[in-house]
Each structure stands twice: as C-alpha cells, then as structure tokens.
Chain A
Amino acid sequence: MIKFEQVSKTYPGGQQALRKVNFHIEPGEMAFLTGHSGAGKSTLLKLISIMERPTVGKVFINGHDLGSIQRKQIAYIRRDIGMIFQSHQLLMDKSVFDNVALPLVIEGYSHKEIAKRVHAALEMVGLRDKVKSLPMMLSGGEQQRVGIARAVVNKPPLLLADEPTGNLDPKLSMEIIRLFEDFNQAGVSVFIATHDLGLIARMKYRTLTLKQGQMITDGLTEDFQSDELYD
C-alpha cells in the first residue's frame, strides 16, 4: 500500500530530515511509526500526502509513483487518504456536521447522500448526538473523534494519523486506537505516527522506528525494548 524506496529528504537550509528510508506496508496492514520529536515522523507522513516531495528516492501508493503526480492531481490523491492530525484541523466556526461533511461537499455528493454518510461516520465514532454542536463545545477526545469521522467519511482505502492521541489521557488514547482497529478490520490500511510508546507497547503491531532520519527498527512491538530508543 505504501512503499518507500531509498527516500531522503533535505529541507532548504540543509536540514536532513530523512536518510535512505526503505519500507513497505501491505494493503490492509496496520502499522505504527515512532521516534523522537524531530526524528522525521511528520516529514515521512508529509511525503505520503504530498505536502512535501522527496529530495531523493521514490514513494509509491498502491504501486503508483507519487513523483509522477502533478500539482493539479494532488487534491484527488488526498481524497484517497484519510488524514488525522494532532491539532484536529477542524473548522471552529462550523458545526460538527459541516466539518465531517466537508470532504463530501468537495467531491460533489448530493445533499441526501451527504447526510446519510455523515450520520454513519459520526455513529461509528460515537458522536451521533453531537451533530449540531460546534467543535469548541466538545472535549479534546471528542474533537479528535470528529477529525476521525471526517477522515473516514468518504471511505478512503488508507488512513494516516499524525499523533492522534497527542493530547489525550491513556484511556481516551486507547479508545481512539480501538477505533482505528475497527477501520483496519474493515480492510482499511492504517499508518499511525506517535511517540506514545506506552500505547504501542500494549499492542502487537508492526512498528517502524525513526532516529535522526534513519529507519532503525522495523518489526513487531515486542521485538524491541523501549530503552533501545532512548539510549
């Protein structure tokens, strides 16, 4: 589903964010990406959603080389990727319904279809009764779930999450991860960047670890000790 081949990214100014990164996530897989802040996690996700382009190497989604995607096509690529952010990226002056409906409005769905799908997505994240609320009135965990509903409302085959549990306590974090597991069981590929090692340690998922831009481990959580990271 996602494949990196010898990918390096150097920002203007010489800061090297990624060095020769290789990995491959299969369709239907759920995987974590971890590492210090500044290790290159966000850069790696940005290369997948084409917010940045690699300096060297190739990124593939579903076998398509993203290097061949032109600027005009990027919008259509993003419709295939559900993205979830630590800062939610919700529109604070719009209702929960309008926020979740945004991807569907952009894609030109009919009114009826939009209502149907938005309600279904909010049902999945357990916010059915908050349809008319403003994001401001919701708790941090609820806001994050609105963001998730928005990411899955057009049923993308791939979900990317950047620190989705960043501001949440362990219990809420676990609930969010369970949501991702549900989507994964429905066949969606899920790729989550997080520095919450305690969270990962409780589950047995493939974990990719970045350190100073290099991929240092790639395997199941139990295969490595967390102190490996922090030496």
Chain B
Amino acid sequence: MSILFKGRMQGAQVSNISLYQRVVMFFVSHLRQALSSLGAMWRSRAASLMTIGVLGLSITLPTTLYVMVKNVEKISSGWEQASQISLFLKPNIRQGDIDQLLKRIQLWPEIDAINYISSEQALNEFKDMSGFGDAIAYLDDNPLPNVVLVTPTSRHASPVSARLLLDRLRDEREVDIGKLDIEWLERLHGILNVVKNLVSVVAILLFLAVVLIIGNTIRLNILNKKDEILVMKLVGATDAFIQRPFMYTGFWYGFLGGVLAWFAVILLLLWMSNSVSAVSALYQKNFEITGVDFSTFLWVIGISVFLGLSGSLLSVKRHVREIEPK
C-alpha cells in the first residue's frame, strides 16, 4: 500500500492474488535470484574460481587437521582399553607365597589375565635382548624382581577403575610396587589438547581471512554495479531488494568453496592413507582413517556458507547504503 496515496496499490497487491500464490512467488523469485547470481559468477568464471579456490583451501587446512586430531584420539582410545598393570614383588619371598598370590588374584572379577615373569626369566630375557650378557655374568646375584603383569577386563580398563584396581593390588602383602602403564597416554592427551587449540586458532584466523576476502570481492561487485544500483534506487528499490543478489553471490562462494574443501580433504586423506597404513602395519594394527562422513560434510558446507554470507553481509550493509542518487 502506498504511503502517500491512500488506496493506491503497489506491487503484488494490484493483481489481487491469493496468499498461497504470493508465498509461491516469494520462493520462485528467490530461486530466480539465486540462479541469476550463479549465472553472473559463471560469466566471470576466472575471477570467481580464484575466490572459490582461496575459500576452499582456507577451509581445507583446518578441516584436515581436525580429521587428523580426531583419528589420533581414536587410536589412543583404542590403546587406553588395553592398559596393563605391572606388579613388582618384594624380594626374598618364597615361591609358595608367589603361587598363592597368583591363584588368589586370578579369581578377581576385575582381572582378565595375569602373566608371571620370574626374576630368572627376566634376567635371561634381558641377557638375550640387551647384549649385556657378559656384563651380567659378573653380577653376584640377580637384581631384577619378580613381576606379575595384570590385564584388567575391558570393563575395568578405563584409567579411573584401573587405578582403583591398582590400589587394591598394592595392598597385597607380596607386592612391593605397582605401576599403571597409562601415564604416557595422559601425556599424549596433553599434547593432543595443545594441538587441538592450535587447530582452533589456525581455523579462526583462516575463517576471518575468508570473511574479509569475500567481503572485499562483494565490495568490488557492488562498485562494478554502482550505476545499476543507482537506477534501481531511483525507481524505488529497497536496500533489501538490491542486497539480495549479492547475498546470494556470497552464499554460492561459500557453498562452492565448501564443496571444493571437501574434495581437497578427501584427496589429501587418500594420499596420506598409504603412508598411514604402512605405519600401522608396523604396529600390527588395522587402522583406517575415519571422520570423513556425511555429518562432517554438512559441517564443512555449513561453516563455509556461513562465512560466505557473513562476508557479503558485512560488505552489503556498508556499501549498498553508501550508494545514493545525487
């Protein structure tokens, strides 16, 4: 409805169409504008491709790092389940007592398996493995203790319950020292956390760069179309109407950049998977890189589109307003 002239209809009201048709028209006109923005990008392919490339690669780096951190976490969680407890027995206890201990703790429900290594066995093994065999022959007596290796059942293999089990085992009369083999895991977790923070910082910096790049590209688009925008304003276009195609351009940059990033990540991981499987074969582990699933895909596209839209919004809010007929 016109502001100045009561009863003068403007726009769609004139044709007296139904609400349903108007809703349909709304979506049709948005779709048309989205496609025409895509068409405009196609007409300046080279420039558009460069922008999309910058965007895609900027998103590829943090995504790849993220996938790698996720995978390292997965490996380490696999090892955490197999944590072992080493019990060093007191010296000078009789073999009968040791047998008693082994029989007793074997029955504990928390324990899956035990492996007894006598001091003689350990010494022999050490002689064979270390190459100090001759030197060891000079020792008066065996300095190594008897050791029991305890593997907890999977239900009690988490760091907390394994620690509880360790405390109980330490209370046994024959046990001198007990050690849990997960301290290095905790260190690994610490390092992983540092890496994760690093990934976040890198991601934030790159995302900011993307927003600025898109903002600048859209700014140039707006300045290129300055004359057209002036004419549109003269014949009564609202800022929102003028902004829409630029917002769609930002959307497409984001979307296509995201798709490009996705393919780049997949290629990178494929390329790396050969070397990764070579390493994991050395550890006799079957390991496949994961994390490249549909939900990650949606996240990458979502973030990318969000960045594209923010960049163009930033530009459009400033520059479309600035262009006024004089």
Contact = CB atoms under 8 A, between A and B. Distances in A.
Interface of A: 49, 51, 61-62, 64, 69, 72-73, 75-80, 83, 85, 89-91, 102-103, 106-110, 113, 150, 154, 157
10 contacts: A75-B237, A75-B239, A76-B2, A76-B10, A79-B235, A89-B230, A89-B234, A102-B231, A106-B235, A109-B12
B318 interface: no
Given A89-B234, A91-B228, A102-B231, A108 B25 contact: yes
B78 interface: no
A73 B3 CA distance: 8
B15 A113 contact: yes
From DSSP, what is the main secondary structure of chain B's interface residues?
loop
B12 A102 contact: no
Contacts of A109: 11-12, 14-15
Given A107-B12, A108-B12, A109-B14, A79 B234 contact: no
A106 B25 contact: no
B236 A103 contact: yes
Contact of A110 (B2, B25, B234, B237): B25
Interface in B207-250: 227-228, 230-239, 241
Contacts of B227: 91
A103 B235 contact: yes
A80 B14 contact: no
Given A76-B10, A78-B236, A89-B231, A110 B17 contact: yes
Interface string B168-204: 0000000000000000000000000000000000000
Interface-centre pick from B3, B25, B326 (highest chain A CB count, 10 A): B3
Interface-centre pick from B11, B15, B236 (highest chain A CB count, 10 A): B236
A102 B230 CA distance: 12
B73 interface: no
Interface of B: 2-5, 8, 10-12, 14-15, 17, 25, 29, 227-228, 230-239, 241, 324-326
A108 B227 CA distance: 22
A157 B233 CA distance: 19
Nearest to B21: A110
B228 A75 contact: no
Given A107-B12, A110-B17, A113-B14, A76 B235 contact: no
B24 to A, nearest CB: 10
A108 B15 CA distance: 11
Nearest to A75: B238
B25 to A, nearest CB: 7
Contacts of A106: 232, 235-238, 241
A77 B4 contact: yes
User: Nearest 10 A-B pairs (CB), nearest first?
Assistant: A107-B11, A79-B236, A78-B236, A75-B238, A103-B235, A108-B12, A106-B237, A108-B11, A62-B4, A80-B4
A106 B239 CA distance: 11
A24 B260 CA distance: 63
Given A51-B326, A106-B235, A77 B230 contact: no
Given A51-B324, A106-B236, A108-B29, A62 B5 contact: yes
Contacts of B232: 102, 106
Contacts of A49: 234
Interface-centre pick from B4, B5, B12, B29 (highest chain A CB count, 10 A): B4
A144 to B, nearest CB: 15
A162 to B, nearest CB: 11
B243 to A, nearest CB: 12
Contacts of B29: 108
Contacts of B235: 78-79, 83, 102-103, 106, 150
Contacts of A75: 233, 236-239, 241
A74 B320 CA distance: 15
A73 B326 CA distance: 18
Interface-centre pick from A51, A83, A91, A106 (highest chain B CB count, 10 A): A106
Contacts of B231: 89-91, 102
B10 A107 contact: yes
Contacts of A110: 12, 15, 17, 25
Given A107-B10, A110-B15, A77 B237 contact: no
A61 B2 CA distance: 12
Given A89-B231, A102-B235, A108-B25, A76 B3 contact: yes
Nearest to B227: A91
A22 to B, nearest CB: 20
Contacts of A150: 235
A80 to B, nearest CB: 5
B13 to A, nearest CB: 9
Contacts of A62: 4-5
Contacts of A51: 324-326
